[in-house]
Structure 1
C-alpha cells in the first residue's frame, strides 16, 4: 500500500462552533488535521541491499531489522582488524617478557654474518688490487713490444724504398725486391697484433680498477650492516625499553580501535527500527545499492501524534503552554480525547490559504501545536479534528 499513512501537512483552520462566537461560549473550537511525527531511517554504510523485512504500512517495534546491506566486505574488515590486534598483542607480550635466548642467538648470527661479509669484501679488494698490478704489467710489456715493432716497421719500410731504387737501376733482382716487401708486411702485421694487445691490456686495467671500487663499496656496506646488527644485538641483550613498550601498547590500542570501528560498520549493515511505530514509506528495493546518508525508510512513531491549529491574535488569551484541551474526530463522535498544548508560535502569520472564506484568510493568526496524549490507538494521521478550548483554561 504505497504511501499509506502519508503525513498530511498542517493546515489548521480557524472555525467557530456553529451558531457561537468566541466570547459567547464556555468552550471554543479550532479545526486541524492530525499529523504524525516522521522519523527517517538513514543508511550509515553503503552497499547492495540484500533483503527487506517489512512493507509500507507495517507496524514495527524498536530494534526490528527493516533491511540488510551486503555484509561480506564488512566481515572481511572485521577479520583483518582482528588479525592486526592479535599481532599487536603478541608484540606487547613479547616485549614485556624480555628478549629470549633464541632472539639473542639470531642477533648474534646477524653480527657474525656481517663480519663474514666484511672479510669477503676485503678479499675481493685484495684480488682486484692484484688484478690491477697484473694488468698494468701486461700493458707495460705490450707497449714496449709495440714501440719496438714500430721501429722495425719504419726500418723495413726504408729498406723497401732502397730496394725499389736499386731494382729500377737493375742492381737487384725482382725477387730481392719482393723479399724486402714481405719483411715490411710482416712487421706491419706484428704491429697490428701488438696494438690489439695494448687495447686489451688497457681494458683489463680499467676492469680491475672497477673491481677495486666495487669491493670498497661492498666493504662499506658490510661494515654498516655489522654496526646495525651489533646495535640490534645490544638492544636484545638489554631487553625492551619503557619507550618501546609504550609504543607497542599504543599500537595495540590503535588496533583495538580499528577492530571496534570495523564491528560497528558490520552492525550498521543491519538497518533497524529506531522506535516503535508504523512504516510510512520505503525508498529502497532489494538489489539496489544504498549510499551512505540516503534515507531508506520513513516511519511514524507510535506514540507521537500532534495537531496544529491556528488561533486569531485577539484570542491568544484563551491558550497557554501546557494547557489541556479536548479533541474530537468524526470517527468517534461521542468521545473526546485529551491533548496538551506544547508550543505557541512567537510570530503571527496570515491564515493559511485553505481556510474557507476570504475574510478568514486576511486575519493574522498564531500556530498552536498540540500533542495528543489520549486515544493514540484510535486516532490516525490525516484525520480532521476539532480542538475544544475552555475559556477557563486560558489566561484571564
Structure 2
C-alpha cells in the first residue's frame, strides 16, 4: 500500500519544513460475505479501530427470520429424537440447518481484523452490499516506513535518528512521531506520483 503523506521535521533552531513522500503500510479491505442492506457503519475516515471491534452491521432480516425458524425446528427435532420418535438422520439435518443459519447471521456483523485506522468509508447505511463490494479500507499505521524526497539543499538539516512528524491526510491529518532511519547517499529523482505541498493545495 502506498499512502500519500506530508512529513514535517521540526528543527529547534531553523524552524519547520515539510515535504511529500509515500508510506508503506498494511492495508485491509472489508467486504461482506452475504448480500444485504447496510444497517449501520460505526466509523468514519481517520478514526482508529481495534481488532474485533464491530464496524459494520447488515440488516439480514431474511437470514434472522430463517435462523429463528431453524432454531425452533431443531428444538422440536431434538425433543422427538430423545423420545425415539424421529431418526438420527432427521435430527442431524435439523442441527446442520440450525448451525448453518446461525453462522450466516454471524456474518451480518463485520469486525475489524486489525488494530488500525480507517482510510476510506465507501458506502453508507441503507445501501445494498454484496460479496466483493468494498465497504471500508483500513490500514495498520503502527511501525510504518516512509520514503520522503527532500531537495539536496536541505539535506544538511537532516541526520539519521532525528525526530520527524508525519501528517497523513487519509488518517485525519493527525501528527505521528517518527525518526529518520537512513539517508541515501545517492540522489534520486522525485517520482511523479509524489506531489509537493504546493501542488496538493492548488
Match of 1:387 in 2: 182
Q: For residues 43 and 81 of structure 1, what CA distance do their matches in structure 2 show?
A: 23
Q: Compute the TM-score of the two structures, normalised by the length of structure 1.
A: 0.33
Contact 1:37/1:306, CA 8 A, preserved across alignment = no
- The equivalences for 1:353-392 within 5 A come to 378-379=177-178, 387-388=182-183
Q: For residues 102 and 120 of structure 2, what CA distance do their matches in structure 1 show?
A: 29
Structure number having the greater helix percentage: 1
SS at match of 1:260: helix
Match of 2:68 in 1: 79
Cα 1:307/1:86, change in 2 over 3 Å: same
Contact 2:2/2:23, CA 8 A, preserved across alignment = no
Q: For residues 62 and 158 of structure 2, what CA distance do their matches in structure 1 show?
A: 57
Q: For residues 88 and 67 of structure 1, what CA distance do their matches in structure 2 show?
A: 34
SS at match of 1:287: coil
Contact 2:159/2:183, CA 8 A, preserved across alignment = no
Q: For residues 378 and 284 of structure 1, what CA distance do their matches in structure 2 show?
A: 31
Q: Could you give the per-residue CA deviations for residues 239-283 of structure 1, whole angstroms, max 9, x where no partner exists?
A: xxxxxx7xx223222322221221121121112211100000111
Cα 1:90/1:65, change in 2 over 3 Å: same
Q: Among residues 303, 321, 336, which one is paired with 2:161 in the alignment?
A: 336
Q: For residues 73 and 277 of structure 1, what CA distance do their matches in structure 2 show?
A: 32
Q: For residues 147 and 177 of structure 2, what CA distance do their matches in structure 1 show?
A: 18
Q: For residues 261 and 378 of structure 1, what CA distance do their matches in structure 2 show?
A: 47
Match of 1:183 in 2: none
- Between stretches 278-287 and 33-42, larger displacement belongs to 33-42
Q: Among residues 100, 103, 106, which one is paired with 1:264 in the alignment?
A: 103
Shift of 1:307: 5.5
Match of 1:278 in 2: 117
Cα 1:250/1:333, change in 2 over 3 Å: farther
Match of 2:43 in 1: 54
Match of 1:169 in 2: none
Match of 2:135 in 1: 296
Q: Could you give the per-residue CA deviations for residues 121-146 of structure 1, whole angstroms, max 9, x where no partner exists?
A: xxxxxxxxxxxxxxxxxxxxxxxxxx
SS at match of 2:144: strand
Q: Among residues 39, 53, 62, which one is paired with 2:28 in the alignment?
A: 39
- The equivalences for 1:158-237 within 5 A come to none
Q: Compute the TM-score of the two structures, normalised by the length of structure 2.
A: 0.62
Match of 1:221 in 2: none
Q: Among residues 78, 95, 99, which one is paired with 1:89 in the alignment?
A: 78
Q: Among residues 4, 7, 11, which one is paired with 2:3 in the alignment?
A: 7
Q: Which runs of 5+ in 1 are unaligned?
A: 9-31, 97-244, 310-329, 338-376, 380-384, 390-396
Contact 2:32/2:129, CA 8 A, preserved across alignment = yes
Structure number with greater Rg is 1
Q: For residues 66 and 89 of structure 1, what CA distance do their matches in structure 2 show?
A: 36
Cα 1:255/1:303, change in 2 over 3 Å: farther
- The equivalences for 1:89-168 within 5 A come to 89-95=78-84
Contact 1:275/1:301, CA 8 A, preserved across alignment = yes
Shift of 1:76: 0.7
Q: For residues 307 and 253 of structure 1, what CA distance do their matches in structure 2 show?
A: 55
- Equivalenced residue count is 149
Shift of 1:335: 5.9
Post-superposition, which runs of at least 4 consecutive aligned residues in structure 1 deviate over 3 A?
306-309, 332-335, 385-389
